[in-house]
Structure 1
Amino acid sequence: MSSIFKNTLGITLALFLISATAYHKFYVSVTQINYSNKEESLQITSRIFIDDFENVLKERYGVTLDLGTPQEAKNSNYYVERYLNTRFTIHINGKKQELHFLGKEYENDVVKTYIEIKNTPLSSLKSIKVESNILYDLFQEQQNIIHFNINNRKKSFLLMKDKNTDMLKL
């Protein structure tokens, strides 16, 4: 075999392997939890890839919502809220909180969801426990990153299927 052929074969094989690994999909969501002194509330923004979210909603509820398109289903908020209420929970000082879904918007290939927990005076916050099961029902390798910013205290957690809960003590 000639040296040129071996080099060409080697380069072709290397490019194939690089392109095959570069396409490997990763599954991640990012949730930001901020405290609003003005509103005395926790304000929660989650960022989830639209295609992954569409797939899990279709699998779980048998609906195609066409999120982020002109054909988006009129009842899409219902399914987004329903899913989040069953897959994301927050406990403050050991008590499960009611999540108020405010809406969603789109940014490129991501859906941003907005949730609020009302009537939460800062002085009463001792601990915040977050349990996130977002997308675990479809993607075993899903990772959910949680960022807190409460009273200038910042902390982040990485939640995975086998460790889906963490707590911030204030």
Structure 2
Amino acid sequence: MMKLKKAKLWVLPLVILLFFSFSSAHKFYVSVTNISYSEDDKAFQITSRVFIDDLDKLLKERYGIETKLATPKESEIADEYIEKYFRTKFVVEFDGEIVPYNFLGKRYDTDVVICYLEIPDVDLSKIKTMSVQNEVLTDLFDEQKNVVHVKWKGNKKSFVLIRENNKGMLNL
């Protein structure tokens, strides 16, 4: 009888573990964008972290290209299409005016692609408000959340942007 009780103590956790191992976990859709003002460079430096597989899927569905990001067979036009997509889905405004930015490139870190952008020649003393619109991946994933952190002159403001609320504003 004692062996049966011990067996039950081992079997129940094993069954629970197996159940969760084979059930499909719901994927979390999120990107994180950091926007920092550099006093030395007089520029906003932007890094945007997006899951590689999500961006790969989006580029295929939106533009019909197989980018094969982060593989030896990565498409030579991948950067061009990533930049094109960011320009349509990531917008920064100063005092209500859209601000141009430079797409500097990308690199990979495990399962994430990090895109580097920069808004050069920024005179903060002449800017009252800044807004950030981030719709990256919201056109493909309903559950997509885009976290945006903005840092400038010792201040920090964060937003969680979703499809229905895709713009954050702050006073500089």
- Give the TM-score, by structure 1 length: 0.90
1:66-109 Cα offsets, whole Å, 9 max, x none, are 11112111111110000000011011111111121111111111
Pair 1:123-2:125 in alignment: yes
* Structure 1 residue 42: Cα displacement: 1.0
Match of 1:120, SS state, is coil
Pair 1:105-2:107 in alignment: yes
**1:37, 1:122 within 8 Å by CA — same for their partners in 2?**
no
1:105-132 Cα offsets, whole Å, 9 max, x none, are 1111110001111221121221110111
Contiguous gaps of at least 5 residues in structure 2: none
Count of equivalent residues = 169
1:10-60 Cα offsets, whole Å, 9 max, x none, are 545533453356732101000000111122111110000000000001100
Match of 1:26, SS state, is coil
**1:144, 1:158 within 8 Å by CA — same for their partners in 2?**
yes
**Which deviates more from structure 2 when the two are superposed, residues 52-61 or residues 67-76?**
67-76
Cα RMSD between the aligned structures?
A: 2.0
**Which deviates more from structure 2 when the two are superposed, residues 42-51 or residues 124-133?**
124-133
Structure 2 counterpart of 1:127, which letter?
T
Match of 2:137, SS state, is coil
Q: 2:91 aligns with which of 89, 105, 130?
A: 89
**Which deviates more from structure 2 when the two are superposed, residues 76-85 or residues 113-122?**
113-122
Distance 1:17 1:156, change over 3 A: farther
* Structure 1 residue 140: Cα displacement: 0.4
For 2:22 and 2:123, the matched residues in 1 are separated by: 51
For 2:20 and 2:73, the matched residues in 1 are separated by: 36
For 1:22 and 1:66, the matched residues in 2 are separated by: 24
Aligned residue in 2 for 1:24 = 26
Listed as ranges, the matches of 1:10-21 within 5 Å are 10-11=12-13, 14-19=16-21
Percent identity, please: 42
For 2:140 and 2:112, the matched residues in 1 are separated by: 17
Pair 1:162-2:167 in alignment: no
Higher Cα Rg, which structure: 2
Structure 1 counterpart of 2:39, which letter?
N
Structure 2 counterpart of 1:57, which letter?
L
Aligned residue in 1 for 2:43 = 41
